[in-house]
Amino acid sequence: MKRVKQKELEREQGEAKWLDIIEKDLHRQFPFHEMFAARGGHGQQDLYRILKAYTIYRPDEGYCQAQAPVAAVLLMHMPAEICEKYLPGYYSAGLEAIQLDGEIFFSLLRRTCPMAYRHLKKFKIDPILYMTEWFMCIFSRTLPWSCVLRVWDMFFCEGVKIVFRVGLVLLKQMLGSVDKLRELQGMYETMERLRNISPESVREDIIVQEIVILPVTESLIERECSIQVRKWRESRGELTHQPGRRLHGTRAIYEFKRRAASISSGGSFSFLGSSIPPPGPLRASSSLLSLPGFRRSRAPFLSQSKKGSFSGPSGMDGLPPQSPPVVTSNPGRGPNHKPPMPPGAGQRAIPPHIQSPLVVSAAGPSREPAQPSEGSLAQGQPAASAPVQSTTPPPPTTLSPSPKIVSEQITPTIPSPTANNSPLALCPESKKEAVAVADATTGEEEGKKKKKSKENTKKKEKEDEKKKMKEKKEKDKAEKERLRREKERLEKEKKKGGKKKDKGGGEAEDKNGAAAAKDSA
């Protein structure tokens, strides 16, 4: 969707008077920066496209010379920013963060593909043996290039859950059936397969679809994270490096920055929350760059679990108490959540000028994977990757595709409480978690924080109990429904004959896996 819009913008000529000035300015932005040093180099090209797209997007504003340096700085920093907020600690000395994510990943695998999980366990293949490169390079050395671009696109706007999902989907594809495992009877054979993924085995459209429907949500990851942090402390002691809290998606970064900015600068960013257009373009996202206030208020994720309020990402995405209710709708979430209100409504309600095109568009493509036709359209120009995509403004009237339909058909049968098949569970949870997060992040004053968190834990305990009951009910329900459906499927397959032997095996596995996941839950 976004890409179509972006393409539209790029195709459009733009007003000559703006383009003229922009072109004159291109080589004058940070001319000693390696990115912008070369005339007509990639930095200058990207800059041109961003600035031009903006003049088309907001013809009334056109181009102001002050935009160029801002956009240039953004181009310089977007990737770094993404790494710091999405993958905190990934590249720092101890590499603890990646090891921790390895444990989280393995545990998630147990839920999503028990067959692969058992296989890896059987041959003692530790997650860091195969996922280190996958995660640390965000699959850039693993997948065919077109897939890399799609995955990065999703990753940029939705955060680390995409990385987890891609890994899980890959393992599922490579180790997810009896037939496939038959030829991998050994550690070396398995590692060989995982290290050298043949491009033919990864079809872009298929893998993207799988990534989109895999029910691994931010909250599931966060929950698993708190479990693994606890285990880590028990077995290896305190984490020596305590990275900042992980943010899930551009939306979360935006919200977080916004709160921090309003705290630290005492309202100078107040235009962000109001419906009055900000004085200049790109302002909102320029706050994405490190503000001192933001750094200060960043809470290490360990303290989160200490308080027992390990916040689900729905909470991170959630609205700060002072913000208008429209913000609740979360475009970054993609089709895997049931939004608390009709998907289109909330989105339209966000005044487009609150966010710069950079931020908005980054949140945009999350909806895209569900619409493969458009995705493949955009895929034609891989060169136009990261920063340029960001120039796209939001299509104001888009509805996200109905998540229910997509998932009901294809989602494997995991009775996860946050999975699509039990959308109702999400609402109370996300509300509660929003409170928890607001508590964790907004309060700069310690006293206030403590008091609040006390109240919170009490509240939480109550709600947890309620939630557990509810979850259990829903799980049972989902389980029944699933078994029924599976029966039907198996019967159908019987009719089809032994043609899909492979698939039958996988399903039997899934059944076991569901049981296992249930046990572990």
Stretch that binds other proteins, among 189-197, 349-357, 388-396, 507-515 (CB under 8 A): 189-197
Q: Which of 11, 13, 16, 235 binds other proteins (CB under 8 A)?
A: 235
Q: CB 407 → other proteins: shortest distance, Å?
A: 34
What DSSP assignment string belongs to 379-428?
Answer: TT-GGG-HHHHTTPPP-TTPPPPPHHHHHHHH------TTSTT-GGGHHH
Residue 227 binds other proteins (CB under 8 A): no
Token pair of 226 as six digits:
């708190």
Q: CB 185 → other proteins: shortest distance, Å?
A: 13
H helix runs in 325-369, sequence order: 343-349, 357-363
Nearer to other proteins, 167 or 394 (CB): 167
- Mutual orientation of helices 250-264 and 426-442 as an angle, nearest 10°? 40
Q: CB 95 → other proteins: shortest distance, Å?
A: 5
Cβ-in-10-Å burial (0-12, 13-18, 19+) of 94 comes to exposed
∠ CA(243), CA(244), CA(250), 5° rounding? Answer: 130
Residue 133 binds other proteins (CB under 8 A): yes
Nearer to other proteins, 139 or 269 (CB): 139
Q: Which of 28, 141, 450, 466 binds other proteins (CB under 8 A)?
A: 141
- Mutual orientation of helices 67-86 and 145-158 as an angle, nearest 10°? 90
Q: CB 192 → other proteins: shortest distance, Å?
A: 7
Cβ neighbours of residue 265 closer than 8 Å, sequence gap 6 or more? 291, 293
Residue 500 binds other proteins (CB under 8 A): no
Please, which of residues 39-98 interact with other proteins by CB under 8 A? 91-96
Nearer to other proteins, 184 or 213 (CB): 184
**Number of Cβ atoms within 10 Å of the Cβ of 212:** 27
Q: Which of 188, 268, 465, 483 binds other proteins (CB under 8 A)?
A: 188
User: Which residue(s) pair with 300 in the sheet?
Assistant: 244
Q: Please choose, from the candidates 342, 396, 412, the residue with its C-alpha nearest in 3D space to the C-alpha of residue 168.
A: 412
Stretch that binds other proteins, among 123-131, 206-214, 280-288, 364-372 (CB under 8 A): 123-131
Distances (CA, A) of 231 to 21, 86, 258: 58, 22, 34
Residue 192 binds other proteins (CB under 8 A): yes
Nearer to other proteins, 91 or 145 (CB): 91
Residue 124 binds other proteins (CB under 8 A): yes
Nearer to other proteins, 126 or 479 (CB): 126
Give the side-chain half-sphere CA count within 13 A for 75.
27
Could you list the residues that contact other proteins (CB under 8 A)?
91-96, 99, 124, 126, 128-129, 132-133, 136-137, 141, 188, 191-192, 195, 235
